[in-house]
Amino acid sequence: MITDKEFLETELKMGISFDNPAFVDLAKHTAGQFKDLPIKSVLDFGAGTGVYSNAFYEQGFDIRVYEIWKAHKNYIKEKAPHLKFCYKPFSTDLMVFIEVAEHMTDKELYSLFDKIKPNYILFSSTSESKPEWDADWGHINIKQQPEWDLFFDKLGYNILRQVNYPTNYSKIYVSKNI
């Protein structure tokens, strides 16, 4: 299994960083997709390098960062010291959930959503297994997109719309209770 430092180093080499203008621009477009929705508070769950969190911050959202890996937390604190961390997930208007679910078991996901009930979820998760590196990257729960839709339906969410950012398989789910 890859360490947090190795994961961060690889992400930075891939351009998933504050130092890559194209990635920063992608994050800005991602955050800009929510101007028509009643969203004020945002939880970036599994924030990684924090670039998406910063984009939401810059667009005026009340953003909180949840990240478990120390190397990533230190990177975010260095590059975006204005971002506020939280140390346990909480309910919010929007949960940013980008490329995280494939690292969690269904049991962990159900437990998470038993504790928090965001109104909206920006979701993106890989649907393609790459056996030569999935285990090293912690990809333990890869589902096809229709399987994720069924999963979120069971959790009480409908697809609000497909979106173009950050990936071509990104979706916004909305709580059935809204």
Q: What is the per-residue pLDDT for 43?
A: 98
Residue 4 · residue 72 · CB < 8 Å: yes
pTM confidence score:
0.93
Q: Which CATH superfamily is domain 4-175 in?
A: Vaccinia Virus protein VP39 (3.40.50.150)
* 135 pLDDT higher than 90: no
Residues 113-124: tens digit of each pLDDT: 999 999 999 999
3-class state of residue 87 by DSSP: coil
Residues 43-81: tens digit of each pLDDT: 999 999 999 999 999 999 999 999 999 999 999 999 999
CB atoms within 10 A of CB 163: 19
Furthest CA-CA distance within the chain: 42
Q: Where are the domains of the chain?
A: 4-175
Residues 81-120: tens digit of each pLDDT: 999 999 998 899 999 999 888 878 899 999 999 999 999 9
Q: From residue 159, how far is each of 117, 124, 168, 170, 172 by CA, in Å?
A: 15, 12, 15, 11, 6
The letter for the amino acid at 177 is N
Q: What is the per-residue pLDDT for 132?
A: 63
Identify the band that residue 143 occupies on the pLDDT scale cut at 50, 70 and 90: confident
User: What CA–CA distance (Å, rounded) separates 9 from 146?
Assistant: 32
User: What CA–CA distance (Å, rounded) separates 17 from 24?
Assistant: 7
Sign of the torsion formed by the C-alpha atoms of 102, 108, 109 and 115: negative
